[in-house]
């Protein structure tokens, strides 16, 4: 699988212009959502090479990352003369880069695409690493392909438009990446001041964070081994996220991962001796910055059932990535029903 290039830009218009020179004789399509269209598309269209692009807009939110939306995108591409030499620019959060990467990679067996994430979550999670997909039958990213972007162009100024909840949602993935890297990286991200955001500091943390993910992806692009480390917090987290969408208070992805990390660090403590002080430090960080997740013991069986459907599972056992310490990764771990319920007790009590 080819590697994509990530640029954390200092001059967005100039760097986008240079990138698009490669496609100046071919059709360019911009996929975006109704939020990014309003706040970020005008900045993209300041680039002369992008002004004649065909714009495809879908509604924002993970509930629209569906086969119906994919059909709409494929139909637009077909009706407007896209071919394998065309380019798709995915401008938006993780939902857009997921579905945009999937539809570009499958249209006429593959056209090139560039990701321009407009959310912090999109920059550190969906936009990098080559995973694309859509939700199907109520399950997250059930259908997709490994197909990296040609380039990921990150403009930190876009993140100034985020509200506090969406900023924190993205930051949860940064905490996860630092946690699987080293104690130094983890303590650095935990000390970030959410009340007085320093965007210069964020830019440095983001560069380090994306580099952590890229090192892992380059070593294991199709998730046969060490790339499973990136799933830390996600086995519980995806179940929480899916369950929450059946209520009136759906969780943002990063919040679900933050809560999932509490459970999986507790499981790490139980099974691998993850330091109790670090577990308590992280649990306090989550309570201070993400609050609590409304769930109780009547939901435990539903959480377990959702975890059983996780695509990372093997041999009918729920598969976890756990840690014996920050940076000390242990993939392909399992847990009993009783151990899983004990983790839920720790989170909800």
Per residue in 34-43, pLDDT (tens digit) is: 999 999 999 9
Whether residue 202 is found in the same domain as residue 338: yes
Domain end marker among 112, 141, 161: 161
Backbone angles phi, psi at 50, to 5 degrees: -100, -10
Name residue, tokens 């756990």: 322
The conformation of residue 126, written as its DSSP 8-state character, comes to: I
Answer yes or no: do 184 and 243 share one domain. Answer: yes
Same domain, 134 and 90: yes
Give CA–CA dist 197/185, Å, rounded: 18
Handedness of CA 277, 278, 282, 283 (dihedral sign): negative
pLDDT, tens only, 223-255: 889 999 999 999 999 999 988 988 778 899 999
Residue 334 is part of a domain; what is its CATH number? 1.20.1090.10
User: What mean pLDDT is predicted for residues 263-285?
Assistant: 97
Clarify whether residues 22 and 169 are in a common domain.
Answer: no
Q: How far apart, in Å, are the Cα atoms of 50 and each of 20, 89, 93?
A: 8, 9, 19
Q: Which of 80, 86, 127 is nearest to 108 (CA)?
A: 86
Radius of gyration of the chain (CA): 20
- d(Cα 303, Cα 233) in Å, to the nearest integer? 14
Domain that holds residue 139: 5-161
Whole-model pTM above 0.85?
A: yes
Helix (H, G, I), strand (E, B) or coil at 38: helix
If asked whether residues 93 and 175 sit together in one domain, one would say: no
Q: What is the mean pLDDT of residues 67-96?
A: 97
Contacts of 81 (CB under 8 A, 6+ apart): 27
Residue 284 tokens, joined = 């306090």
Mean pLDDT of 91-102: 96
Residues 65, 145 share a domain: yes
Taking the C-alpha atoms of residue 149 and residue 7, their distance in angstroms, rounded to an integer, is: 12
Q: Of how many residues is the chain composed?
A: 349
Please give the pLDDT value at position 2. 66
């Amino acid at each position: 699988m080819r590697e994509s290039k990530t640029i954390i830009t200092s001059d967005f218009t100039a760097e986008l212009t240079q990138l698009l020179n490669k496609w100046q004789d071919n059709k360019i399509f911009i996929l975006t959502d109704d939020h990014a269209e309003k706040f970020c598309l005008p900045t993209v269209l300041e680039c002369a090479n992008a002004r004649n692009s065909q714009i495809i807009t879908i509604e924002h939110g993970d509930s629209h990352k569906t086969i119906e939306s994919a059909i709409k995108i494929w139909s637009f591409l077909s009706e407007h003369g896209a071919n394998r030499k065309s380019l798709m620019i995915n401008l938006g959060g993780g939902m857009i880069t997921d579905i945009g990467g999937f539809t570009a990679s499958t249209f006429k067996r593959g056209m090139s695409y560039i990701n321009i994430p407009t959310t912090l979550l999109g920059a550190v999670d969906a936009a990098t690493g080559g995973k694309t997909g859509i939700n199907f039958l109520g399950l997250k990213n059930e259908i997709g392909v490994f197909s990296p972007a040609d380039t990921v162009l990150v403009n930190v100024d876009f993140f100034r438009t985020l509200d506090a909840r969406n900023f924190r949602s993205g930051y949860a993935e940064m905490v996860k990446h630092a946690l699987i890297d080293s104690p130094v990286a983890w303590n650095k991200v935990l000390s970030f001041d959410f009340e007085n955001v320093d965007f210069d500091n964020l830019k440095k943390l983001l560069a380090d964070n994306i580099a952590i993910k890229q090192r892992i992806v380059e070593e294991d692009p199709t998730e046969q081994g060490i790339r499973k480390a990136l799933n830390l917090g996600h086995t519980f987290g995806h179940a929480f996220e899916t369950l929450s969408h059946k209520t009136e208070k759906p969780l943002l992805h990063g919040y679900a991962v933050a809560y999932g990390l509490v459970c999986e660090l507790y499981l790490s403590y139980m099974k691998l001796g993850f330091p109790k002080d670090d577990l308590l430090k992280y649990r306090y960080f989550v309570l201070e910055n993400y609050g609590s997740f409304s769930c109780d013991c009547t939901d435990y069986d539903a959480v377990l059932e959702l975890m059983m459907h996780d695509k990372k599972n093997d041999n009918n056992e729920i598969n976890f990535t756990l840690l014996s310490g920050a940076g000390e990764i242990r993939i392909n771990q399992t847990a009993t029903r009783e151990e899983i319920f004990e983790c839920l007790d720790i989170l909800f009590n």
